[in-house]
Amino acid sequence: MDKPRPIIILKKKSGHGGHHGGAWKVAYADFVTAMMALFIVLWLLNSSKQVQEAVGGYFKDPTGTSKKVGSNMVGTGENFLLTRDNMPKLKEQLQKAIQQMNDFDKLKSHIEMTVTAEGLRIELSESASGTFFDSGSAKLKPDGQQLLATLAKELGNLPNKLSMEGHTDSTPYAPSASYGNWELSTDRANTARRVMQSSGLRQDQVTQVRGFADQRLRKPDVPLDPANRRISLIVQYIIKNNDDEPAVPAPGEDKSAPEKPSAASPQTPEKK
């Protein structure tokens, strides 16, 4: 009798697919990184200018400027916040810039920079023959245009705001005249503003244009002295408030310290 054949049962084991690797993880990480970069760019585009400058300052110098506004001053290679502590540094920078002018020797006795309680005050005082403006008018002479353009190129790179003042001496106009010292002082300050804004100042950088006529004489004891006729540029301080955010104070009344008299000697008075 034949023996029954053994029953053989074949069981198929379903194997897993081959090892896929981690390439998909790298692609996913790249996608997430790109999305994060996109959201950061969109956030920066909708942020204030100071936030944008602060972020840019951080990437330029991660060691210390992440909370400072970049000034991008030409020739200095530095980013710093112009406050009471380092305003003298700006004064030195401006002095170096104007010393490069062709007629600096002729103008140096009529340019004075003083660090005051209000900011850096730049005084451009007149001579008897008129250094910056034609006598009795608000028309700038070439030397005045060149000097204001040089200052504008330096100051236009700063976050600081400026105010501009015009002053005259006490020489009166005729009582019947429809134009006087008030109009002349304001027109001269406004002429300076136009020249500087066309030469490098930002359009929103000037906060005030003020004319004082002969009410703030540089030499009160000699009211007709030509040095009383002047243009004043005030670079205002940037002060940090309680939130450690830089804020430009609103210009109020003139709090500047008494100014040192210029070297110009009294001369024969003439009409402005």
Q: Which helix (H) or strand (E) holds 144?
A: helix 142-155
For residues 29 and 109, state if they share a domain: no
Q: Report the C-alpha gap between 108 and 219 in whole angstroms.
A: 19
In this predicted structure, what is the pLDDT of residue 104? 84
For residues 172 and 143, state if they share a domain: yes
Task: Please give the residue range of the domain that contains residue 53.
Answer: 23-67
For residues 90 and 140, state if they share a domain: yes
Q: Report the C-alpha gap between 131 and 214 in whole angstroms.
A: 18
For residues 135 and 231, state if they share a domain: yes
For residues 174 and 233, state if they share a domain: yes
In this predicted structure, what is the pLDDT of residue 246? 46
Q: At 60, which amino acid appears?
A: K
Cβ-based neighbours of 51, under 8 Å, separated by 6 or more: 44
In this predicted structure, what is the pLDDT of residue 67? 45
> Are 259 and 114 within 8 A, CB to CB?
yes
In this predicted structure, what is the pLDDT of residue 138? 92
Q: Report the C-alpha gap between 212 and 228 in whole angstroms.
A: 11
> Are 194 and 186 within 8 A, CB to CB?
no
Q: Report the C-alpha gap between 169 and 219 in whole angstroms.
A: 9
In this predicted structure, what is the pLDDT of residue 201? 95
In this predicted structure, what is the pLDDT of residue 161? 93
**pLDDT tens-digit profile of 7-45?**
777 766 655 555 566 788 888 888 999 999 898 888 888
For residues 141 and 176, state if they share a domain: yes
Residue 214 covered by a domain: yes
Query: Looking at 35, 67, 99, which one is the last position of a domain?
Result: 67
For residues 239 and 145, state if they share a domain: yes
> Are 53 and 44 within 8 A, CB to CB?
no
For residues 145 and 46, state if they share a domain: no
For residues 51 and 155, state if they share a domain: no
Q: Considering all CA atoms of the chain, what is the largest pairwise distance in Å, rounded to the nearest integer?
A: 153
Residues in the chain: 272
For residues 59 and 109, state if they share a domain: no
**pLDDT tens-digit profile of 72-104?**
444 333 444 567 777 888 888 899 989 888 888
Residue 259 covered by a domain: no
Residue 27 covered by a domain: yes
Q: What is the pLDDT along the chain (272 residues), one digit of tens a residue?
A: 566 777 777 766 655 555 566 788 888 888 999 999 898 888 888 887 777 777 777 777 666 543 444 444 443 334 445 677 778 888 888 999 898 888 888 888 899 999 998 899 999 999 888 889 987 889 999 989 999 999 999 999 888 999 999 999 999 999 889 999 999 999 999 999 999 999 999 999 999 999 999 999 999 999 999 999 999 999 998 865 544 444 444 444 444 444 444 444 444 444 44
For residues 201 and 240, state if they share a domain: yes
Tally of CB atoms within 10 A around 38: 10
- Tokens representing residue 72 in the block: 């991008």
CATH code for the domain of 212: 3.30.1330.60
